[in-house]
Structure 1
Amino acid sequence: MGALIGFFVRLYTAVFGTLERITNGWLLGLASRFIFAAVLLQFFLNSAMTKIGGDKASIVNLFVPIDSAYIQILPKLFEAAGYDSSGIAFFPYGLIVVLGIWAEFILPVLVVVGLFTRFASLGMIVFIIVMTYVDITGHGVDAKTIGALFDGKPYAIIADDRLLWIFLLLVPTLKGPGVISLDWLFGRMYRKREMYY
């Protein structure tokens, strides 16, 4: 019996050790960025477009946010200002809204193309945490939407979905983007240049 167990342990170790060696350094980062692109990229870009005018989007709105940006990012402040963004000081509140818009456009694209991937992925994690806080405290989402961990109901948008989003982004934050990325390409070019100097 001991020999049989030993055989299965060696087989298990050999199969999964080989699998780990073959995929080490490229698969996890690439897969997480691909899944992020397939599932979340369009969500974040569409959300960002609503903050600069949607169908009537203007590049100027990247610097001078429209009311919908304030409604989404600083809902309580916008309400306190009588739903008039001209009554809200640019510093710090308007700046917060502008930076939020830029983050929602720039960070997801950086994650997908694999440029400054660790920084962009960490930035997206922070963005999701802030977005979740604003949704709960500023927009007052209901308990069903918030959900709860370990409740056996994996359908809550916030507790369940966003935790998975964060884990997905934690992979490139900790493991890097993988070989099919601009980080890898620029790193390779840099290393080649260093060899010749």
Structure 2
Amino acid sequence: MQQLLNVYDSAAMALSRQDWLLGTLARLVFAAVLAVYFLNSGVTKLGDGVIGVLNPSAGAYIQIFPKAFANVGYDSSALGLYHHAVVIAGIAAEFLLPVLILLGLFTRLAALGMIGFVVLQSATDIFGHGQYDALGRWFDHIPDAAILDQRALWLLLLVTLLIKGAGPLSLDKLLLMLRR
């Protein structure tokens, strides 16, 4: 039994020295699972023309401020500067933050921004859109609730990037080497 524990301990120590692995895998999983989701979501909010980000679609207001947009009769011009600024910032974040993570550039800052984004997205889904049925429960043997279960895994992935960084195949690593 002691021999088996020694092998286990040796393997565990070897794995714990692989600092590059978690950040690299987290970025790969982000690219495979979440990047296209957020980029496509950003596209649905763009208005017409080259500067569509500055002239968001009605869908952007419906998604981000569902109750406020309904209260003004779905007329975005009736909303204030605050609403417009938040929608534009949300669109920019949906494009910029995933791209930064994919490139491994300012990864920790981008992951922190994405964590805030996912928390706000979840709060909007629950309180703004009333998606209480998608909330789910933890510890309930059903692992696919859209909000609590799935987004907890998203946040774990993003916290991994926040703590571990992007890994060696990243622009963060290249910038670090250039600074040294």
**CA distances 1:109-129 after superposition (whole Å, capped 9, x unpaired):** 111110000000011011000
* TM-score, length of structure 2 as denominator length: 0.96
The reply on whether 1:152 has 2:152 as its aligned counterpart is no
* Alignment partner, residue 78 of structure 1: 69
1:1-197 aligned at under 5 Å gives the runs 5-21=1-17, 23-24=18-19, 26-53=20-47, 57-90=48-81, 92-143=82-133, 145-191=134-180
CA RMSD of aligned residues (A): 1.1
Distance 1:109 1:49 in 2: 14
Distance 2:49 2:46 in 1: 6
* TM-score, length of structure 1 as denominator length: 0.88
Distance 2:148 2:66 in 1: 21
Distance 1:176 1:77 in 2: 38
**CA distances 1:72-94 after superposition (whole Å, capped 9, x unpaired):** 0111110111110010112x111
- Which amino acid in structure 2 is aligned with residue 173 of structure 1? L
Deviation at residue 165 of structure 1 after TM alignment: 0.4
- Which amino acid in structure 1 is aligned with residue 123 of structure 2? Y
Where do 5+ consecutive residues of structure 1 fail to align? 192-197
Give 3-state SS (helix, strand or coil) of 1:156's partner.
coil
Runs of 4 or more consecutive aligned structure 1 residues displaced over 3 Å after TM superposition: none
Larger CA Rg, structure 1 vs 2: 1
Counting matched residue pairs gives 180
